[in-house]
């Protein structure tokens, strides 16, 4: 990735699949790797998987308002002074939700309706193209939804992995065979479980189609597997990414929901970093009603 990118060429971090589907490529009870699934690890992992499956079903009937700020800045301590080229700050206000696409499962979707204080003018047209055109197969539609969520990103690291629910999908039965899991210890009231991707091709790839394995931690409630916090790291020779998401219980919708997403991206040998912070509020449930009309 970095070998082919010059000073003005962004590097790319791309998630190529929806993941949050009960019918993933790797099925089976206890799909974690041998040697990492015995005893407490296996029990906790099964609880976390059951929780995430419930989370997707529950959150799939909700929409949240996301306020998302991104900015570029010189890396602290780099002792450099220079002018950032292009846009160095942006604020997005969006509806964030999960869209269920047949054959792909739950796909995170950021529907931006306000960009730097101004309404997005072509929103309805873009939504119609995504969901009503019928011209795409399931995989193409899933990828199009993910990429649409990244439309207004700024910075020299192109990416579509900046959604709060990405790491949760690693706990689904169709995905967790790809990872090794270990219990690292405790942090306050949570059990910390680490994960490291081992399978190839990887879930996240760079702009040249190369593998970019992810690793990180889950903070879990030991009793029921509730995910309290996630951390994802993706590092290769071209760039590094770190995404932290914290969750909270919302009494209005009686469910655990994303509270904050914090992220950092750095392109190797660059003197700038891209920082992002998103907060989530106004969770509300929706119902989809269908009606059929027959001509007499």
- Higher-confidence residue: 210 or 154? 154
Confidence of residue 25 (pLDDT cuts 50, 70, 90): very low
* Weakest-pLDDT range from 66-75, 124-133, 184-193, 275-284: 124-133
Confidence of residue 18 (pLDDT cuts 50, 70, 90): low
Task: For residue 25, give the nearest of 173, 171, 145 by alpha carbon.
Answer: 173
What distance in Å separates the CA atoms of residue 147 and residue 160, rounded to the nearest whole number?
6
Compute CA 265 distance to the chain's CA centroid, rounded to the nearest angstrom: 14
Yes or no: say if 227 and 204 are a contact pair by the CB < 8 Å rule.
no
The whole-number average pLDDT for the span 197-221 is 92
Confidence of residue 38 (pLDDT cuts 50, 70, 90): low
Percent of the chain with pLDDT over 70: 80
What distance in Å separates the CA atoms of residue 46 and residue 31, rounded to the nearest whole number?
10
- Predicted confidence at residue 10, as pLDDT, reads 57
- Higher-confidence residue: 165 or 132? 165
- Higher-confidence residue: 3 or 242? 242
- Predicted confidence at residue 15, as pLDDT, reads 80
* Weakest-pLDDT range from 11-25, 109-123, 126-140: 11-25
Per-residue pLDDT tens over the stretch 77-107: 766 555 555 679 999 999 999 988 887 788 8
* Weakest-pLDDT range from 24-38, 117-131, 235-249: 24-38
- Predicted confidence at residue 110, as pLDDT, reads 94
Task: For residue 15, give the nearest of 198, 171, 142 by alpha carbon.
Answer: 142
Per-residue pLDDT tens over the stretch 127-157: 888 877 665 676 687 778 888 889 999 998 9
First to last CA, the chain: 62
Per-residue pLDDT tens over the stretch 211-260: 999 999 999 999 999 999 999 999 887 889 999 999 999 999 999 999 99
- Higher-confidence residue: 272 or 133? 272
The per-residue pLDDT of the chain, averaged, comes to 83
**For the whole model, what pTM was predicted?**
0.85
């Amino acid at each position: 990735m970095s070998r082919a990118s010059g000073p003005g060429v962004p590097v790319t971090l791309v998630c190529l699949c929806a993941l949050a589907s009960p019918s993933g490529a790797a099925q089976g009870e206890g799909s974690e790797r041998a040697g990492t699934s015995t005893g407490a690890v296996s029990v906790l992992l099964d609880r976390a998987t059951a929780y995430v499956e419930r989370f997707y079903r529950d959150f799939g009937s909700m929409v949240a308002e996301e306020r998302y700020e991104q900015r570029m800045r010189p890396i602290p301590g780099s002792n450099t002074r220079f002018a950032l080229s292009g846009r160095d700050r942006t604020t997005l206000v969006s509806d964030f939700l999960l869209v269920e696409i047949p054959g792909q499962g739950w796909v995170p979707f950021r529907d931006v309706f306000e960009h730097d204080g101004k309404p997005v003018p072509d929103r309805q047209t873009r939504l119609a193209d995504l969901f009503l055109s019928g011209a795409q197969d399931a995989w193409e539609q899933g990828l199009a939804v993910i990429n649409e969520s990244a439309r207004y990103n700024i910075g020299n690291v192109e990416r579509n992995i900046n959604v709060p629910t990405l790491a949760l999908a690693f706990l689904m039965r169709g995905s967790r065979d790809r990872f090794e899991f270990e219990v690292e210890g405790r942090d306050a009231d949570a059990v910390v479980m680490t994960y490291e991707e081992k399978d190839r091709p990887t879930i996240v790839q760079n702009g040249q189609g190369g593998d970019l394995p992810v690793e990180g931690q889950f903070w879990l409630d030991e009793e029921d597997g509730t995910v309290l916090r996630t951390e994802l790291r993706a590092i290769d020779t071209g760039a590094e990414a770190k995404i932290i998401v914290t969750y909270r219980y919302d009494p209005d919708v009686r469910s655990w929901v994303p509270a904050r997403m914090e992220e950092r991206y750095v392109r190797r040998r660059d003197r700038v970093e891209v920082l992002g912070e998103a907060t989530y509020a106004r969770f509300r449930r929706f119902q989809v009603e269908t009606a059929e009309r027959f001509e007499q």
